[in-house]
Amino acid sequence: MEGSQLYNFKEQLTIKSKVKDYYNLNFIEDLNLTLTDLINDVNNIFVIDNNVSKTFNFNIIDLLKDSRIIYINSGENAKTLNYIQTIIENLLNLDIKRNNKIVAIGGGVTQDIVAFISTILFRGIDWIFLPTTLLAQCDSCIGSKSSINFIKYKNLLGTFNPPTNIYIDIKFLNTLSDADIKSGIGEMYHYFLPFNVEAAIELNNKYDDILNNRNILIDFIFKSLTIKKKIIEIDEFDKDIRHVFNYGHTFGHAIETITNYEIVHGQAITLGMDLANYISLKLNLINHNEFLVLHNILNKNLPKFLFSDQNIKEYIIALSKDKKNINTSLGCILIGKDNNVKKYFIKIDELLTSYIFEYTKLYSI
Amino acid sequence: MEGSQLYNFKEQLTIKSKVKDYYNLNFIEDLNLTLTDLINDVNNIFVIDNNVSKTFNFNIIDLLKDSRIIYINSGENAKTLNYIQTIIENLLNLDIKRNNKIVAIGGGVTQDIVAFISTILFRGIDWIFLPTTLLAQCDSCIGSKSSINFIKYKNLLGTFNPPTNIYIDIKFLNTLSDADIKSGIGEMYHYFLPFNVEAAIELNNKYDDILNNRNILIDFIFKSLTIKKKIIEIDEFDKDIRHVFNYGHTFGHAIETITNYEIVHGQAITLGMDLANYISLKLNLINHNEFLVLHNILNKNLPKFLFSDQNIKEYIIALSKDKKNINTSLGCILIGKDNNVKKYFIKIDELLTSYIFEYTKLYSI
């Protein structure tokens, strides 16, 4: 039974942080009970993603009668300082004080906006997060980061400011499209391949079932967060070892750039990992068999994307503009022996281009 | 000799911080030497207060030929998110990268703007501070705070983000008006009365000399910072014990409000302390003799300000709007036995009004 499986999941995480000392993550079963508790605390003000309020039947709305709720846009283009100023004005209209907490209900964009505001309003107020997307539940909800766009620069601005409490209810996942689920699975793979390959294999085995029964995801969400927790507790501010989580992201971001973000993030990352692994193979960091094991895991989650002579050129240009590059060398995370990941700087030259070209001929779908 | 006094001052401070682990403060003697070092590091971009560049004869300007300098407005009305966006655009035009550092040269407003930008740009970049006002040198340069205004709300937004290095050259103080010096002295008194009353007495004794010879201030700056360091290392994020530094500020801010900030900050704080001490006297926290000792220290630095029947009413209204109030009780720091300071909540009522009225009849100048 799906229900009973859920009710037995009592795991929780406590994450150490330099910003907040520590913060707690709980998997919850009864969303209404948690919401009622949060509503009963008169210090809480709710910031809710417009889409969530449309797709999920919230008792909270009846209970609050709109008096302590702000609905926000959750498109990528909402992540601007101007929109943030609008939301701060709305919060001031609700007479927000420094002892209030903001309860954010939504996905990554809602998280980015509320985390950023909670850093700068009154020099920091507490916030609570109920992530509603798989990406937010399995990845972004911990790790303290917020990201705001500035003019043409994506995620140029941001802060480190974790919530005090995170409540994950996987029932939210039933409101998501298959593409949203595939996006989350991509991020989970990027934690599992280097740090828990058995989980990656298991996730791959259950891939088709998951799309029909999202409850299965709870265990994988917990495993993803457990991996991330270990690293962010050591390097919360992303100065050093946390860089390993860029695995797949350098090659994935360039895919997103040339496709104008039409491919969902996690699937672009999946392709990014497969491509990074092929570079590892060509650099003799892994052998062909090792590459194939990883490729067979990633394969189902690869996006429908065909490299062409034209877009490979655009792709190399996008890679050459990556923020992590040093001069003409691409800064990226590659996998090696025993699936260990490490930072490498690879010359962006004809050879790299030929590797990518070769990959696309063999594996592009 | 002024010169030799300076050259023997080799004190430095290392301040522990949750944001930056620790940061260093040095008193420097040869500004040009330090500037040359900072210029030679090609990673440094300079943000300099317009006024400083006018009043101080900078070799830096010749050396840099404007290629890595941004000049900024340092009026209180520059502290907005819109102006901050303009400065970020200017920094991007200089091709700023995450490994660059911003060197801020100016007073409190320059500090606020650069500290805020350094928090949010690339989720945090390093910055270095050369404070040029007495207020910034003796107080704000350590403690991590930045403050930004929002619509009509003063200092509503802000962050905690200390510089990595602070270099204090007291030669900057020669460019300041007497009012600027008196403002700084007010903040120094607010550290000295509770935590080093001998320094307060000494500062009072040297008051007139200081206005003519600002070099004398170096020792008092060091003593102020030493007091502040102890508390901010315990409570950097101002959640608890750091509240004692609101001593004089609750009563002082209300003076600033009703005079529309015509009185310099530190002198308003001086009056705020004297008034707070009078409340302490009326509440039997100190005796009349203890009040007089403190009053005689503060007396010379009191602003020229006459309470009247009309502005006392405005004053009480301003006090009643203080952010630290709980309902109709004024949250403020009062001095008690052995000059210990502690937070109190005082009913804003006829009795408090009568105390303030009584004070103004006896001590208003």
Distance CA A292, CA A143 (A): 31
CB A24 within 8 A of CB A12: yes
The CA distance from B203 to the nearest CA of chain A, in Å, is 33
Closest CA to A278 of A357, A203, A340: A357
- Cβ contact A85–B89 (<8 Å): no
Find the residue in B nearest to A97 (Cα): B323
CB A337 within 8 A of CB A286: yes
- Cβ contact B238–A158 (<8 Å): no
Phi, psi (rounded to 5 degrees) for A80: -125, 160
Q: Is B232 exposed, middle or buried (0-12, 13-18, 19+ CB in 10 A)?
A: buried
Find the residue in B nearest to A144 (Cα): B123
* Neighboring chain B residues of A150 at a CB cutoff of 8 Å: 85, 88
- Cβ contact B92–A153 (<8 Å): yes
Q: How far lies B194's CA from each of A314, B231, B264, in Å?
A: 65, 13, 22
- Cβ contact A120–B148 (<8 Å): yes
Find the residue in A nearest to B17 (Cα): A18
Distance CA A231, CA A234 (A): 5
Low-confidence ranges of chain B (pLDDT < 50): 1-5
Q: Which of B21, B89, B120 would best serve as a mutation to test chain A binding (most A beta carbons within 10 A)? A: B120
- Cβ contact B123–A160 (<8 Å): yes
- Cβ contact A160–B124 (<8 Å): yes
CB A136 within 8 A of CB A111: yes
The CA distance from A98 to the nearest CA of chain B, in Å, is 9
- Cβ contact A120–B323 (<8 Å): no
Find the residue in A nearest to B98 (Cα): A323
- Cβ contact B159–A120 (<8 Å): yes
Domain A204-363: CATH superfamily is Dehydroquinate synthase-like - alpha domain (1.20.1090.10)
- Report which secondary-structure segment, H or E, holds A7: helix A2-7
Q: What is the pTM of this model?
A: 0.93
Local confidence pLDDT in tens for the 365 residues of chain A: 344 445 567 789 999 999 989 999 999 988 888 988 998 899 999 999 988 877 666 655 566 666 789 999 999 889 999 999 999 999 999 999 989 999 999 999 999 999 999 999 999 999 999 999 999 999 999 999 999 999 989 999 999 999 999 999 999 999 899 999 999 999 999 999 999 999 999 999 999 999 999 999 999 999 999 999 999 999 999 999 999 999 999 999 999 999 999 999 999 999 999 999 999 999 999 999 999 999 999 999 999 988 888 899 999 999 988 877 777 889 999 999 999 999 999 999 999 999 999 998 888 76
Residues of B with CB under 8 A from a CB of A: 18-19, 81, 85, 88-89, 92, 97-98, 116, 119-124, 145-148, 150-151, 153, 156-160, 237-238, 323
Q: Which of A83, A148, A157 would best serve as a mutation to test chain B binding (most B beta carbons within 10 A)? A: A157
- Cβ contact B85–A159 (<8 Å): no
Distance CA B307, CA B357 (A): 8
The CA distance from B267 to the nearest CA of chain A, in Å, is 25
Domain B2-176: assigned CATH number: 3.40.50.1970
Amino acid type, B163:
P
The CA distance from A70 to the nearest CA of chain B, in Å, is 19
The CA distance from A337 to the nearest CA of chain B, in Å, is 31
The CA distance from A89 to the nearest CA of chain B, in Å, is 9
Q: Which of B113, B123, B321 would best serve as a mutation to test chain A binding (most A beta carbons within 10 A)? A: B123
Closest CA to A115 of A151, A172, A155: A155
The CA distance from A25 to the nearest CA of chain B, in Å, is 22
Handedness of CA B234, B238, B241, B244 (dihedral sign): positive
Same fold, B2-176 and B243-363: no
> What's the ipTM?
0.92
The full set of domain ranges for chain A reads 2-176, 204-363
How many other C-beta atoms can be found within 10 angstroms of the C-beta atom of residue B364?
15
- Report which secondary-structure segment, H or E, holds A166: strand A165-168
- Cβ contact B124–A159 (<8 Å): yes
- Cβ contact A89–B151 (<8 Å): yes
Alpha-carbon torsion, ordered A189, A191, A194, A198, to 10 deg = -60
Facing residue for B123 by CB, picked from A89, A97, A159: A159
A122: DSSP letter? T
Q: How far lies B47's CA from each of A45, A93, B109, in Å?
A: 38, 35, 12
In degrees, to the nearest 5, what angle opens at C-alpha B292 toward C-alphas B196 and B278? 95
- Cβ contact B159–A122 (<8 Å): no
> SS3 for A161?
coil
Q: Which of A22, A123, A149 would best serve as a mutation to test chain B binding (most B beta carbons within 10 A)? A: A123
Distance CA B329, CA A106 (A): 38
Specify the CATH number for B243-363; select among 1.20.1090.10, 1.25.40.10, 1.10.287.130, 1.10.3720.10: 1.20.1090.10
- Within 8 A by CB and 6+ apart from B232, the residues are B15, B142, B143, B144, B242
* Neighboring chain A residues of B143 at a CB cutoff of 8 Å: none
Alpha-carbon torsion, ordered A163, A169, A170, A176, to 10 deg = -70
Facing residue for B124 by CB, picked from A120, A123, A237: A237
Q: Which of A19, A120, A156, A164 would best serve as a mutation to test chain B binding (most B beta carbons within 10 A)? A: A120
Q: Which of B80, B93, B97, B157 would best serve as a mutation to test chain A binding (most A beta carbons within 10 A)? A: B157
CB B102 within 8 A of CB B122: no
Over chain B, what HEC string results?
CHHHHHHCCCCEEEEEECCCEEEEEEECCCHHHHHHHHHHCCCEEEEEEHHHHHHCCCHHHHHHCCCCEEEECCCHHHCCHHHHHHHHHHHHHCCCCCCCEEEEEECHHHHHHHHHHHHHECCCCCEEEEECCHHHHHHHCCCCEEEEEECCEEEEEEEECCCCEEEECHHHHHHCCHHHHHHHHHHHHHHHHHHCHHHHHHHHHCHHHHHHCHHHHHHHHHHHHHHHHHHHHHCCCCCCHHHHHHCCHHHHHHHHHHCCCCCCHHHHHHHHHHHHHHHHHHCCCCCHHHHHHHHHHHHHHCCCCCCCHHHHHHHHHHHHCCCCCECCEEEEEEECHHHCEEEEEEECCHHHHHHHHHHHHHHCC
- Within 8 A by CB and 6+ apart from B196, the residues are B223, B227
Find the residue in B nearest to A88 (Cα): B150
